[in-house]
Amino acid sequence: MLARSLRCVRCRTFARASSSPAFPSLVKVSSSSFTSSFSSSALAKNDAPWYLNPEESPSVTSPLKQIEIPDLPENHPQTLENLVVYLAQELGIDDLLVFDMRNKKHEDSVAEGACDMADFMVLGTGKSAKHLQKASTQLDFYIKHNLHQLPLTEGILKSGVLARYHRRLQKKGKKAPNYSKNTYGAEPNTWVMTDTKSDGIIIHMLTEERRLDLNLEYLWSDASEREKYERSHMRKDSDDIFRGIRYFHSSASHRANDSAFDAYDITFDNYSSRFQKLLKSHIVEPKSTPLAKIKDHLDLMYSAGLAINPDLLYSYFNTILQSEEFNSKLKSEAEAFKRRDTLFSNIIQKYNIKLTTEEVLKFIPLLIVSGSQIDNTLFRTIKDIIENPEIGGDHIVRHSKTINHLMRLSNKVADSLNVGHRAMKREIDLLLVSVYANRQNWIHFNQIIEAAIIRNDISILKAALPLVTACADLKTAVEFNDRVLPLLLEAGLDPELEQFVDLLAKRINNP
């Protein structure tokens, strides 16, 4: 009965709706009329939200499209324009500059290296290191597929390489030299260079801080425009007297020399002059100018493309040998000889210095000094023996093993027919006979004496007389008295050496 009554109710309801509708307004409204009535009423009352009203919605433009395209050089290839537009509009590289290097190969020595590398230098600024990493990847993809070239990208580190780089940096950071602890080595992906291999175009993308530090615009711009890119490091003037007192109180005295050096003047005279000042300052004030600061300047000079000539190397090595900072860290003779011997060879290899025959002969005396103990109080020089003939030389003062190699090298390199070589060879042998006599190494001592007799160098024989008298054993003294002394007497002795003839005879007769 309940089911029948429900069916009857349903039938009555539908029948009533079809015959006489109870809600005529709802029956006449269709979906289209509902939408039109809603939109017309809403817009008429200005109740629509702003995103549905195109007249009131703000005009949204991408910041990438606001980047200005720089002026391009005359007669530029279409590839250059396409790349610049792609960098600005697609990659978001800002502050773009294009330098034409085609006409600077014979005009400007500062941009000489860049002229040999490229015809166009494109310089742009990225927002961060991650931005440059993403932009370089997309730029490589664009060059491969649009220019059909295989680009060369430097300065970018991928995630895996970067993680390995940080692990190694943490392990070896304490042992690294000072010049490797700057921000350039600790912040990767801040300077990315891409050689497009097309029309001589090279693209440099840098972060804002890195671009400000490097100031590549100063190197590649015309001489007439360089004033615009000069970096001024001078502080602003102030009328505050306490500010001036605070500045001079906190500033070191050697800052006056630093202010005179212009790091952006990349010339050999500027950097070498600064290097010589640092060497002199280190001898006078080792604490204010440590060896690490001198080495950093030499690395900076070499990285700037300036050649390290033998004269700079000689001054640098000579200063190190006189340095209290260098010698104070040496605990034993073996450590001193090892460190000095490896120092010179490491410098030669690091800075790729080529030495001529004359330059090799010039360096040998300095290397003999570094491999011996001439500064030792027990070392007897020729001058010491002449001033005090009764001084004894029985103490053995050791030398490095490289001294014997230097002797053979000087014999091989020196040309006996060359007057200049003979003078340098004489200086070398005078040092060698002194070192060998104090070491009581009479085998090599006699080899030098025999070579001097062959080339008729009487000055070496005269220098050997005081050394033999003070340091030689009985056998060496007898051989020198029988073979060398007659030659000296025939050539004639200086007044200051005549007394050593009697002293030598006394040493032989009363051993």
Which residue in this structure is represented by tokens 């002293």?
Answer: 503
pLDDT number for residue 66: 62
**pLDDT of 101 strictly over 80:** yes
- With DSSP H G I counted as helix, E B as strand and the rest as coil, what are the percentages for the chain, rounded to 5? 60, 5, 35
Q: Give the pLDDT band (50/70/90) at residue 95.
A: very high
**pLDDT of 140 strictly over 90:** yes
Task: Calculate the CA 198 to chain-centre distance.
Answer: 30
pLDDT, tens digit, 9 for 90 and up, residues 278-305: 999 998 888 889 998 998 998 888 888 8
* Cβ count near 152 (within 10 Å): 12
pLDDT number for residue 103: 75
What region, left, alpha or beta, does residue 221 occupy, with left being phi > 0 and alpha being psi -120 to 50 degrees? beta
| 139: nearest Cα among 67, 94, 193 | 193
The CATH code for residues 71-228 is 3.30.460.10
* Cβ count near 118 (within 10 Å): 19
**For residue 438, what are its two tokens?**
């104090």
Q: How far apart are CA 222 and CA 108, in angstroms?
A: 8
Partners of 99 in the β-ladder: 121
Q: Give the pLDDT band (50/70/90) at residue 442.
A: very high
| 93: nearest Cα among 147, 132, 61, 142 | 132
Q: How far apart are CA 410 and CA 420, in angstroms?
A: 13
Q: How far apart are CA 214 and CA 134, in angstroms?
A: 22
Q: What is the mean pLDDT of residues 51-61?
A: 54
Structural domain boundaries in the chain:
71-228, 265-332, 355-511
Tell me what percent of the residues of the chain surpass a pLDDT of 90: 32
pLDDT, tens digit, 9 for 90 and up, residues 11-37: 444 444 444 444 344 334 444 444 444
- In the chain, the N- to C-terminal Cα span, in Å, equals 153
pLDDT, tens digit, 9 for 90 and up, residues 199-212: 999 999 999 989 98
Cβ-defined contacts of 152-159 (< 8 Å, 24+): 152/194, 152/195, 152/197, 153/192, 153/193, 153/194, 153/195, 154/192, 154/193, 155/188, 155/189, 155/190, 155/191, 155/192, 155/193, 156/132, 156/188, 156/189, 156/192, 157/188, 157/189
pLDDT, tens digit, 9 for 90 and up, residues 328-347: 776 777 777 888 878 888 88
